[in-house]
Structure 1
Amino acid sequence: MSKVLMLFASSEGQTQKIIERMRSILNHNGHEVDTIHLEGSTTDIRLKQYDAFMLGSSVRYGHHHRDFCRFVEQNAGALNSKPCYFFSVNLTARKANRIEPHQNPYLTKYLRNSSLQPVDVEVFAGAFKLSRYNFFQKQLLSLIFRISDGSSAPSEDREFTDWCRVERFAERLAQQLAGGQFSGSKARDSNKAKP
């Protein structure tokens, strides 16, 4: 089967948890998978040895991770030369009108400004990990919740991730790799990623 590299950036562990679930599905479908958490300067990754890429990054304070974005821009040619999938993890995706890729402002903005041209994209709601936040972060996130939808921030840790959605995305990749079903059209050119 195929050799897949999963590259991700995760601040609080939810994106890594999503990557691990996807990895188990790809392994179960017979694909060989390597994972790399993009932190700091990552320059010694041999991208040519892989058949496909799965990229994921969480959003923090309105932006995808700096190290992740830097790596993608430095390696966009190699990443775009093979089937490349991308997903964004953010709390905005917990809302019904922001869960589809073309509705999610963080995902659409990233794709507009990035050199990455994935064949498929997805967005997943993240987790609210109150126990890991300091006083300032708790106040800021409470304000964000009030401004974004008028709700109060959860009073305890809460996971919003739709695991069935995560599994369907991984299954799509597994099936497309097994069947060689790549049309060559990029998500940026499809309705999936347009704002």
Structure 2
Amino acid sequence: MTEPAAERILIAYATTDGHTRHICERLKRVMEGLGRQVTVVLLSEAGALNVRDFDRVVIGASIRFGHHQPVVAEFIGRHQALLESRPSAFFSVNIVARKPNKNTPETNPYCRKFLKSIAWQPRLTAVFAGKLDYPSYGFFDRQMIRLIMLITKGPTNPKAVVEFTDWAQVEAFGRKVCALTA
């Protein structure tokens, strides 16, 4: 007697500086630990996959200067019926989520605005605080982000690297994705 095939989960993401990929990799480890087969792929490369081959879909996206990358809404629009037909989830990664009053899908302005702008309503949503890495930014981005941090009372030292991500929250989200019912 053969064992049933492990449930297949697609985690498709868009990232600006790479931190969203790290969050996806942590989700993958959690989900694989629960016996799932997990594929992590950039949204820009997800077109090469047959999304219908997956039992669950998770979409992750970072924010830069107040917006998710256009590829996020494009992918969702192209696959909306499929996303609605199976357990699916969405998470947003942004520095604003470092604040306790802006770290949920209901209180995070970027996540709320994005979810209102699309027709798909994921069964599960999350917001994760990202990583601030001034040395890796170009001159313009570094200055703009420092200005935003000054206004929002965040770190402004141009040499600062600060990871705000709550990894326990990320891992809990991974377990919740696996627990979603069909």
What does residue range 9-24 of structure 1 map to in structure 2 within 5 Å? 9-24=14-29
- Tell me the CA shift for residue 62 of structure 1: 0.6
Kept in 2, the 8 Å contact 1:84–1:117? The answer is no
Gaps (5+ residues) in structure 2? 1-5
Q: Does 1:120 align with 2:124?
A: yes
Kept in 2, the 8 Å contact 1:99–1:125? The answer is yes
User: What is aligned with 1:153?
Assistant: 156
Percentage of pairs with the same residue: 32
What does residue range 35-74 of structure 1 map to in structure 2 within 5 Å? 35-39=40-44, 42-74=46-78
CA distance in 2: counterparts of 1:69 and 1:114, whole angstroms? 7
3-state secondary structure, aligned to 1:43: helix
User: What is aligned with 1:6?
Assistant: 11
Q: CA RMSD in A?
A: 1.5
CA distance in 1: counterparts of 2:31 and 2:127, whole angstroms? 19
CA distance in 2: counterparts of 1:38 and 1:22, whole angstroms? 16
- Tell me the CA shift for residue 168 of structure 1: 0.5
Matching residue's letter, 2:144: L
Q: TM-score, normalised by structure 1?
A: 0.85
CA distance in 1: counterparts of 2:26 and 2:89, whole angstroms? 15
- Tell me the CA shift for residue 172 of structure 1: 1.1
Matching residue's letter, 1:29: L
Cα pair distance change 1:23/1:151, threshold 3 Å: closer
3-state secondary structure, aligned to 1:103: coil
What does residue range 170-189 of structure 1 map to in structure 2 within 5 Å? 170-176=174-180, 181-182=181-182
3-state secondary structure, aligned to 1:54: strand
CA distance in 1: counterparts of 2:107 and 2:65, whole angstroms? 18
CA distance in 1: counterparts of 2:90 and 2:145, whole angstroms? 25
Q: How many residues align?
A: 176
Matching residue's letter, 1:3: R
CA distance in 2: counterparts of 1:151 and 1:3, whole angstroms? 39
CA distance in 2: counterparts of 1:31 and 1:42, whole angstroms? 19
Q: TM-score, normalised by structure 2?
A: 0.91
Q: Does 1:129 align with 2:133?
A: yes
- Tell me the CA shift for residue 8 of structure 1: 0.4
CA distance in 2: counterparts of 1:157 and 1:169, whole angstroms? 25
- Tell me the CA shift for residue 42 of structure 1: 4.9
CA distance in 1: counterparts of 2:11 and 2:46, whole angstroms? 14
Kept in 1, the 8 Å contact 2:9–2:37? The answer is yes
3-state secondary structure, aligned to 2:9: strand
CA distance in 1: counterparts of 2:20 and 2:73, whole angstroms? 15
CA distance in 1: counterparts of 2:95 and 2:71, whole angstroms? 20
CA distance in 1: counterparts of 2:155 and 2:21, whole angstroms? 26
3-state secondary structure, aligned to 1:121: strand
Kept in 2, the 8 Å contact 1:51–1:83? The answer is yes
